[in-house]
Structure 1
Amino acid sequence: MKSFFKIFFATILGFFTSLIILFFFGMIMIFAIVSSFSKEEKVSLEPNTILKLDLNYQIPERTSNNPFDRISFPSMESTNFLGLDEITTNIRKAAQSDDVKGIYLNLGIMTSGYATLETIRRELDKFRETGKFVVAYGEMINQRAYYLGSVADYLFLNPVGLLELRGFSSEVVFFKNMFEKLGIEFQVFDAGKYKSASEPFRLEKMSDANREQLEEYIFDVYHNYLDKVATSRNIEFNRLDEIATEFEARYPSIALELDMVDGLMYEDEVRDHIRSKLALTQDEKFPLISLNRFRSVPGEKESASRDRIAVLYAEGTIVDGKGSRDNIGSESFVSTLRKIKEDDRNKALVIRINSPGGSALASEVILREINQVKEKMPVIVTMGNVAASGGYYMACTADKIFAQDFTVTGSIGVFGLLPNMEGFFNEKIGLTFDRVQTGRFSDLGDVSRPLNEFEKEIIQSAVDSIYINFKQRVSDGRGFSMEYTESVSQGRIFSGTMALENQLVDTLGNLSDAIAYAAWVSELETYRIAYYPEQKDPFESLLEGFAGGIQKRILQTAMGKTFQYYQQAEQALEYHPFQARMPFEIRLN
């Protein structure tokens, strides 16, 4: 017995000792990450420097302050992390530098939205206008990468690589049969002919109305894609359409014959080409600097002006309450708007929206506060990849609305979605429920039973009321009659160019254009830019990552493409009863 207790307590002691050691080394790692984040080296440039851009990752709107966003899970390797804000800023900085002679664009499997890539493409074009060159190279070049790379002066493909140009497609995944097998039924309440957000939960394929709007959108953005690529590559538009439709350029040799690329080279040969552009011999090296390091090169000094333009990022699903860094919480967002309004240094507000919508109530709460800010300063909205439904709700009363060609917007409509999980509880896991209540509606919305017909009428009436309110906000903000608003509503989605034609936005342009307009309308010759919401310090962001961010990223890495389907199904069970939300995520494959 004495021997047993000796072994037992030795085991316990060893266990806790191991925990202490792991905790100790974990804290060392954490502080090392935070320290490296906050003490970045200052980099100086050499003559003939080439800036290398590797953008084959999901580019966020804004560079995160969270050290975990610099790490790829679960491999724990360093990864690209810069947001669109810093990418564009550093391309402009490179254009102004006498030491930077060109950009080397590494193409691959890009996943960022086309509006994001369009913004970068435009900055690369401006870089070329300074007399400097852009060289692009890839082994496997997908359609997004080709869209970006086509702007380069020289575009090279690996001799045994692949160029993917085959036209656009967009798929919708339907969960109806899966949930039926689980004993879960979705009770649906729609307002709007095209408000098809509930279709994946009640149908097995697209409705005719949904197919109609998707086809109109996809052909419009495809036309924009072809137009820009054809212009850059000096290929006739209809011929480029044929090449894409027939997937003609899939083989490198044929891609070269069709002038889709400028040459077939391996990477070392591309570097030799860059040397020739720099008038260097084959033995001479040139400095190649990554974007992550180049960001530490000193740029122009910030203006000393007291006047500021506030830039507020609104990215993610719109939710009630405080929300998180991955969504737009009405409480937190309103608090930030008030902070902007109360700071007399702020002379204009630019809101950058990248949101498919979400809670209708949260959207209304946010819009009211935006209107309060409008009483003190101009409010300009700029739309990114998506600003639809609740995202458009937030935007509709702005003094000026900017969209981009590839922006998904509109979707002016509302739906309600309430799961009935009686079958799941009773038949799948053996749970039954009984209740006492003080009134006939005391348990309205309880997911353990189906709604009766009168309860369905109550919820549908609420959805219709919110839809009317949504249309009224659009009519007031855009100066439309209710009849015209109805004609562009019904939940229909639009591209940025389609939205401009239908007067839902005022002009096409990106964040830089919106800031320039804000300065003009506010009569500011010099100003600083104040970015909101203010980012948390690295250590606080690190701790926040432990609260769920890491688990999400590991799951996303493990599931790959199917993660979006898992997330969509999970969110459906957590929806606020009334949603002003995009029908589904549009991914152009």
Structure 2
Amino acid sequence: MEFFAEYAGFLAKTVTFVVAILVVLSAIAALRSKGRQSTGQLQVSKLNDFFNQLQQRVEQAVLDKAQLKAVAKAQAKTAKQEKKNGTQKTRVYVLDFDGDIKASATDSLRHEITALLSMATAQDEVVLRLESGGGMVHSYGLASSQLARIRQAGIPLTICIDKVAASGGYMMACIGEKIISAPFAILGSIGVVAQLPNVHRLLKKHDIDFEVLTAGEYKRTLTVFGENTEKGREKFQQDLEITHELFKGFVARYRPQLDIDQVATGEVWLGMAALEKQLVDELKTSDEYLAQRAKDADLFHLHFAEKKTLQERVGLAGSVALDRFALNWLSRLNQQRFW
């Protein structure tokens, strides 16, 4: 027990000291970052190098010295001929979008698109590897508008879907001139959904009043705590129907080959069935497509990485430090227990 008392005192002092340091550093970080916008950095890597390294590693393991020499000679000859002919390969700009409910990846996507539009031409191509189950209407509306910039610039846009592009995710995908899907990817869900709980009867049972004051007949249609009316439900449903019609019109604009009334039911389909309904144009994984393109084009992967502020870095470092301290403390307790 004496050990625990001493260690508790030591722990309290240490935690107080660490918290004090974090508070001071956070205050300094807040003052330094005040009035400054967060910045980031565009990272560009050539994917051809990645594919070449994979191939070379297999060749080194499989081929003998004579065969490796012959392969190297053939590659050098091809490179020399291309240089002599002044051959300019097509450029393929590869982007990634991993969507959450708020389409948070749009913050990076917008900068990546701005960057590539400064270089890309109609002879190039943009490939977006898209994964999203959808989310907020306005968030995915903005993400889709960013992709529309590529189409408006006359640059071919290919969308690759390996797992899912549903609802807002498909709203983005439909902008592509070509949509490529893995055979069992989930696609569709061209519909709108909204749901919320209502605890008005529970509050009324316990004699708790909750008032909702509005200016404007439809400022608030459905609420969580107030009493919902049939008129409010009808208006809310009407708003959903209007949003759905806008969604359908948007998809039909970019995919006129679709029977929009048949596919805009909110249903989802796996890639093979989606191909039959013309929701996608080809069944193939993004790996297969990019590996093929790497044979005759230069592939550049763009990723805009947001720089964390000093305050965020301090918070992260503090969290890690406290986690390590807790683990060490538990370890010492376990050692005491078994020793």
TM-score (norm 1): 0.39
Q: What residue in structure 2 maps to residue 530 of structure 1?
A: 301
The answer to whether the aligner puts 1:349 opposite 2:309 as a matched pair is no
1:473 aligned residue (250, 267, 270) = 250
Q: Which letter does structure 2 place at the counterpart of 1:367?
A: S
The answer to whether the aligner puts 1:414 opposite 2:189 as a matched pair is no
* Bigger RCO (CA 8 Å, 6+ sep): 2
Q: What residue in structure 1 maps to residue 271 of structure 2?
A: 496
Larger mean Cα displacement after TM superposition, 364-373 or 381-390: 364-373
The answer to whether the aligner puts 1:96 opposite 2:93 as a matched pair is no
Cα distance change of structure 1 residues 397 and 435 upon mapping to structure 2, 3 Å threshold: closer
Task: State the Cα deviation string for residues 502-549 of structure 1 (Å, max 9, x = none).
Answer: 1110111122344467779xxxx5524132243657999866757999
Cα distance change of structure 1 residues 94 and 307 upon mapping to structure 2, 3 Å threshold: closer
Q: How much is the aligned-residue C-alpha RMSD, in angstroms?
A: 4.6
Q: What residue in structure 2 maps to residue 221 of structure 1?
A: none
Cα distance change of structure 1 residues 22 and 452 upon mapping to structure 2, 3 Å threshold: closer
Q: Which letter does structure 1 place at the counterpart of 2:282?
A: T
Q: Name stretches of at least 5 consecutive residues in structure 1 with no aligned partner.
A: 1-10, 25-84, 102-129, 133-304, 320-327, 550-589
Cα offset, 1:403, TM superposition: 0.2
1:23-102 equivalences in 2 (<5 Å): 93-97=53-57, 101=61
1:68-467 equivalences in 2 (<5 Å): 93-97=53-57, 101=61, 308-319=91-102, 328-329=103-104, 332=107, 335-336=110-111, 338-344=113-119, 347-376=124-153, 377-427=155-205, 431-467=208-244
The answer to whether the aligner puts 1:511 opposite 2:286 as a matched pair is yes
Cα distance change of structure 1 residues 21 and 545 upon mapping to structure 2, 3 Å threshold: closer
Task: State the Cα deviation string for residues 49-70 of structure 1 (Å, max 9, x = none).
Answer: xxxxxxxxxxxxxxxxxxxxxx
Q: Which letter does structure 1 place at the counterpart of 2:146?
A: E
1:503-582 equivalences in 2 (<5 Å): 503-515=278-290, 525-534=296-305, 536=307
Cα offset, 1:93, TM superposition: 3.5
Cα distance change of structure 1 residues 544 and 504 upon mapping to structure 2, 3 Å threshold: farther
Cα offset, 1:330, TM superposition: 7.2
Q: Is the 8 A contact 1:306 1:345 kept in 2?
A: no
Cα distance change of structure 1 residues 468 and 18 upon mapping to structure 2, 3 Å threshold: closer
Q: How many aligned positions are there?
A: 269
Cα offset, 1:19, TM superposition: 3.3
1:19 aligned residue (6, 12, 16) = 16
SS at 1:527's partner residue?
A: strand
**Same amino acid, percent of matched pairs:** 22
Q: Is the 8 A contact 1:308 1:530 kept in 2?
A: no
Q: Which letter does structure 2 place at the counterpart of 1:381?
A: I
Cα distance change of structure 1 residues 453 and 21 upon mapping to structure 2, 3 Å threshold: closer
Q: Which letter does structure 2 place at the counterpart of 1:369?
A: Q
Cα distance change of structure 1 residues 333 and 459 upon mapping to structure 2, 3 Å threshold: farther
**Equivalent-residue separation in structure 2 for 1:547 and 1:411 (angstroms):** 42
Task: State the Cα deviation string for residues 134-191 of structure 1 (Å, max 9, x = none).
Answer: xxxxxxxxxxxxxxxxxxxxxxxxxxxxxxxxxxxxxxxxxxxxxxxxxxxxxxxxxx
Q: Is the 8 A contact 2:108 2:303 kept in 1?
A: no
Q: Is the 8 A contact 2:160 2:179 kept in 1?
A: yes
Q: What residue in structure 2 maps to residue 246 of structure 1?
A: none
**Equivalent-residue separation in structure 2 for 1:359 and 1:17 (angstroms):** 44
**Equivalent-residue separation in structure 2 for 1:548 and 1:421 (angstroms):** 37
**Equivalent-residue separation in structure 1 for 2:286 and 2:315 (angstroms):** 28
**Equivalent-residue separation in structure 2 for 1:535 and 1:96 (angstroms):** 34
Q: Which letter does structure 1 place at the counterpart of 2:145?
A: R
SS at 1:434's partner residue?
A: coil
**Equivalent-residue separation in structure 2 for 1:311 and 1:544 (angstroms):** 33
